[in-house]
Amino acid sequence: MGWLEYMIDNPGRLIGLGVEHATLALIAVAVSGVIGATVGVLTYRRPVAASIATAVAATMLTIPSFALFGLVLVWFGLGNTGVVVTLVVYALLPIVRNTITGLQEVDPAITESALGMGLSPRQVLLRVELPLAWPVIIAGLRVATMLVVSILAIGAYIGADGLGNEIFRALSNIGSVWAFDVAIAATVSIVIVAMVLEAFWVLVDRLTTPRGLRD
Amino acid sequence: MDAMIRLDALTKRYPGQEELAVDNVDMEILPGEIVVLVGPSGCGKTTTLKMINRIIEPTSGRIILEGEDVTDVNPDRLRRRIGYVIQQVGLFPHQTIASNVATVPKLLGWGKERITARVDELLEMVSLEPRIYRDRYPKELSGGQRQRVGVARAMAADPPVMLMDEPFGAIDPITRDRLQNEFLRLQEEIQKTIVFVTHDIDEAIKMGDRIAIFGDNHRIQQFATPEAILSQPANEFVDDFTGTGASLKRLNLVRVRDVDLGEWPTAISSVRREDALAQLDEVDQAFLLLVDSNRRPVRWVSRRDLSRADWNQHVGLPVRAQVPLNATLSDALDEMLTSSVGVAIVVDDGGAYRGIVDIDTVMTAVNTLRAETRERVAVAAWHAPAGAVEEGGA
């Protein structure tokens, strides 16, 4: 269990990298959330537009991350910016799809009664549809976060911060006594980051979902 | 009297469809009346209702509300003047009952205190104790309670007009009956102009001051009082639609409060049994009705019950068949048939005994009604042979 010893001996280093990792992942999800939710809100009432938005987001997810990293390297050079841009693209699918689904699944009777009382379509969206779709949108953000946390590890290849650096450091020293343990320790740390972020979303979900919607 | 709502050649054609969904509907709806739109599925009754608050925009024709042409005004502002209740209610699940009811007052920018006072007043009006229900969420309420909140929400800003689309359609028959009666009692106080859609002719007869029957051709076949529709159907379609058993249906037209109630011997439940027996002998009935100190019916006791050695406060039959004063004779007949004694007890709003309905009461009422209708129809036909009976006919 050399990797465990490595973790115990180097807590500061791993925690520092883990915080970087989590921060970059959340920044990417936040940006993607704003873009994805906007796309969802603009398309959910038009079935054709909604299908196109979902299909485009899905297609982007099929691009191998190495290929995309190569492309952004051309535009942004080495460093965090290019990696975050890539992560935003990957995170779009679950966010766009869940926003659209959440908004479309609002009971039409609720929207009709809201309109019937004289709420404008904009007020219906802000006061009724978005609050009701919120738990579904949060679920999308959770999935997006998991996706981003794992892809970010590879981002170290083009100069991103985070736990990926530890893995690449180990891989470039493969054959040495400690390389294998370091790689495992970094991987376990990534799993821990994922679990902490998952807990974060569970908490956000709890705190922001109105009582009337909880089971 | 000026019409509250006037529909002028209102027509709806959905894009890509040959047939009109609503074909040239003309209607005048007077202040304070309940007009029921009734007809088979797809006849255009709901579309017509939803064109009044422009949830569905008409293809052509005009909508006049309180003398003002509202066909082209801002729909959001128009809808705040019109209460709207639908079958699925559509309460906002993420908001408390109080917040749901306050929706329109909030839109209109009322002050906080005024809103709180109004919400409590409305909840009381629909028989939901504000202290208990104010802070609950819709999912914590039964279907009937949700529908009451829906009605309260629609009345929040005291709109002169209410549109109701099968409001009691998804509720079990017993609760539906009670909600109908409560709503009619409420209407006596609030005097709203109400347009009410149903596919149930019995509900139409019970609720409507006037009924508009829509046919398969998406036009109004007959627009008249329930009496006129039952006794003088304008055409074969109306006759078929109102169905057989028209005389039985007419029992839905008479309220218990409008007939001469029968009397029944009653005694306070703490009565001494000798006195009770003496009272029974005097009136020559098989049962005596015991009431509590507020004159609310409690139990039926027979001569045999009163003679039992173990006579106490609990001997006898519990009272089941009770109807309020605004119940219809049809409700009363229904209760009567389930009653062990063969009468329906009539109670007032406080639950106190007011009299009874038995089979003689029903027969007398039916005969009077028949005679009255015959007379009224004859008079109407004499004065206006070409239209009074079938206003807005086919």
Tell whether the model's pLDDT for residue B389 goes beyond 80: no
Q: In which order are the strands placed within the sheet that holds B297-302? A: B266-268, B287-291, B297-302, B317-318
Q: Tens of pLDDT along A148-180?
A: 999 999 998 888 899 999 999 888 888 888 888
Q: DSSP string spanning A48-89?
A: HHHHHHHHHHHHHHHS-HHHHHHHHHHHH-SSHHHHHHHHHH
Contact across the interface for B86 and A113, Cβ inside 8 Å: yes
Tell whether the model's pLDDT for residue B157 goes beyond 50: yes
Region B171-187: what's the mean pLDDT?
87
Tell whether the model's pLDDT for residue B93 goes beyond 70: yes
- Our CA-based measurement puts residue A106 at a distance from the nearest CA of chain B, in whole angstroms, of 10
Q: What pLDDT is recorded for position A188?
A: 94
- Our CA-based measurement puts residue A206 at a distance from the nearest CA of chain B, in whole angstroms, of 14
Contact across the interface for A119 and B77, Cβ inside 8 Å: no
Q: Tens of pLDDT along B5-16?
A: 999 999 999 998
pLDDT confidence band for B244 (50 / 70 / 90): low
Which of A10-14, B44-48, B229-233 has the highest average model confidence (pLDDT)?
B44-48
* Residues of chain B contacting residue A113, judged by C-beta atoms under 8 Å apart: 84, 86, 89-91, 150
Region A58-85: what's the mean pLDDT?
90
Contact across the interface for B94 and A212, Cβ inside 8 Å: yes
User: pTM, whole model, 2 decimals?
Assistant: 0.76
* Residues of chain A contacting residue B86, judged by C-beta atoms under 8 Å apart: 109, 112-113, 116
* Residues of chain A contacting residue B80, judged by C-beta atoms under 8 Å apart: 117-118
Tell which wins on pLDDT, A173 or A201. A201
Q: What pLDDT is recorded for position B314?
A: 76
State whether residue A176 is helix, strand or coil: strand
pLDDT confidence band for B382 (50 / 70 / 90): low
- B95 shares contact with chain A (CB less than 8 Å): yes
Nearest CB to B55: which of A110, A112, A132?
A: A112
pLDDT confidence band for B232 (50 / 70 / 90): confident
pLDDT confidence band for B117 (50 / 70 / 90): very high
Tell whether the model's pLDDT for residue B372 goes beyond 80: no
Q: Tens of pLDDT along B124-138?
A: 999 999 999 999 999
* Residues of chain B contacting residue A115, judged by C-beta atoms under 8 Å apart: 55, 79
- B99 shares contact with chain A (CB less than 8 Å): no
Nearest CB to A118: which of B90, B94, B104?
A: B104
Tell whether the model's pLDDT for residue B388 goes beyond 50: no
In SS3 terms, chain B reads as CCCCEEEEEEEECCCCCCCCCEEEEEEEECCCCEEEEECCCCCCHHHHHHHHCCCCCCCEEEEEECCEECCCCCHHHHHCCEEEEECCCCCCCCCCHHHHHCHHHHHCCCCHHHHHHHHHHHHHHCCCCHHHHCCCCHHHCCHHHHHHHHHHHHCCCCCCEEEEECCCCCCCHHHHHHHHHHHHHHHHHHCCEEEEEECCHHHHHHHCCEEEEECCCCCEEEEECHHHHHHCCCCHHHHHHHCCCHHHHHHHHCEHHHCCCECCCEEECCCCHHHHHHHHHHHCCCEEEEECCCCCEEEEEEHHHHHCCCCCCCCCEECCCEEECCCEHHHHHHHHHHCCCCCEEEECCCCCEEEEECHHHHHHHHHHHHHHHHHHHHHHHHHCCCCCCCCCCC
Residue of B nearest to A133 (CA): B94
| Tokens linked to B229 | 């529709």
Tell which wins on pLDDT, B378 or B77. B77
Please state, as a whole number, how many other Cβ atoms lie within 10 Å of the Cβ of residue B318: 10
* Residues of chain A contacting residue B153, judged by C-beta atoms under 8 Å apart: 117
- B392 shares contact with chain A (CB less than 8 Å): no
Nearest CB to A115: which of B55, B107, B150?
A: B55
As a whole number of angstroms, the distance between CA A107 and CA A126 comes to 15
As a whole number of angstroms, the distance between CA A211 and CA B95 comes to 8
Pick from B56, B76, B96 the residue to mutate for testing the A interface (most A CBs within 10 Å).
B76
Helices and strands, counts by H and E, chain A? 10, 0
- Our CA-based measurement puts residue A207 at a distance from the nearest CA of chain B, in whole angstroms, of 14
Region B244-253: what's the mean pLDDT?
74
Tell whether the model's pLDDT for residue B385 goes beyond 60: no
Q: Tens of pLDDT along A90-109?
A: 999 999 999 999 999 999 99
Contact across the interface for B93 and A212, Cβ inside 8 Å: yes
Q: What pLDDT is recorded for position B386?
A: 43
Q: Tens of pLDDT along A126-135?
A: 999 999 999 9
Tell whether the model's pLDDT for residue B380 goes beyond 80: no
Average pLDDT for chain B: 87
Q: What pLDDT is recorded for position A90?
A: 94
Of the listed ranges B108-112, B302-306, B341-345, the least confidently predicted one is: B302-306
Nearest CB to B55: which of A116, A123, A213?
A: A116
* Residues of chain A contacting residue B163, judged by C-beta atoms under 8 Å apart: 116
Contact across the interface for B76 and A109, Cβ inside 8 Å: no
* Residues of chain A contacting residue B92, judged by C-beta atoms under 8 Å apart: 110, 114, 128
The predicted complex's ipTM stands at 0.85
Q: What pLDDT is recorded for position B379?
A: 60
pLDDT confidence band for B390 (50 / 70 / 90): very low
Tell whether the model's pLDDT for residue B387 goes beyond 70: no
Of the listed ranges A134-138, B161-165, B203-207, B245-249, the least confidently predicted one is: B245-249
Of the listed ranges A81-95, A115-129, B141-155, B173-187, the least confidently predicted one is: B173-187
Tell which wins on pLDDT, B93 or B394. B93
- Our CA-based measurement puts residue A55 at a distance from the nearest CA of chain B, in whole angstroms, of 29
Tell whether the model's pLDDT for residue B284 goes beyond 80: no
Q: Tens of pLDDT along B343-369?
A: 899 999 888 999 999 888 888 887 777
